[in-house]
Structure 1
Amino acid sequence: MPIYTDYTAYDDDGNEIFLYHCTVITPIAHITEARAICYDYCTSRGIDTSALMLPYPLSPTGSTPITHYACFDLNWSNAIDDMAAYMTAETAEWTADKLYTLADSATEIKSLFAVFRTDLESEALTHLGLQRVV
């Protein structure tokens, strides 16, 4: 379910778009390669690279050892779809082949470099059984 807004938004083709929470996540084993893909995506779209460079360490307990890195943002559905299409074009065995939602297996999502669409960051973290490492 998209995040409520008090206005209607449309993409460049006139299609209605919706606001969602977006998590991009990768296992720590693939952080270098995943950040390179994120950087390439951002520069190809003219986006500030700091927004998507997987800056947040995660773990099941919220303390070390770190198991994953992620970025969290609110984004329009068309931007999330574009991001997922770009990221899934990678064909490594550790990259996802689709956009993930709460209907998908947390175990599968956590095993991949993936784009995950939810309503809230807390929903994403709860589903995945992960916490920010502070």
Structure 2
Amino acid sequence: MSVQENPGKKIFYIYLKIVLFIISLPVILFMLVAYSIWSAERDANVFCDKIALGADIIPIIRQFEKQTGFERKPGHKVSARHYGFPDEGFDNDGHTFLFPALMFSNAYCQIDLTENGKVKSKNAYFQAD
């Protein structure tokens, strides 16, 4: 007896496919969220690891803005993924670079500066909101 000859088996296989589809949706969603978080953390770590202690911050900012597709023009808005411009009301002792994950979660690369604008310390971390 094959599936074509037994309508009960045909209905069973249809229901089985529906159940497997319903079960697979949350699994796929979980995998997408996990990949998004992993990717943001990896990008922040790679970016921070490339920065040498004692380096000048200006080329780092330009590299980040070029990497994210944002070119800042004098007097215009700053990138929403970068905080630290003194002319925008931020302190001149550090910069924060954001790497978005899913929704409001972000990975960050925090750079602390010396008085003359050189990298004093760096830290990559993830914050889920």
Q: TM-score, normalised to structure 1's length?
A: 0.31
Greater relative contact order structure (CA < 8 Å, 6+ sep): 1
Q: Which is greater in Rg?
A: 2
Q: TM-score, normalised to structure 2's length?
A: 0.32
Structure with bigger helix share is: 2
Structure with bigger strand share is: 1
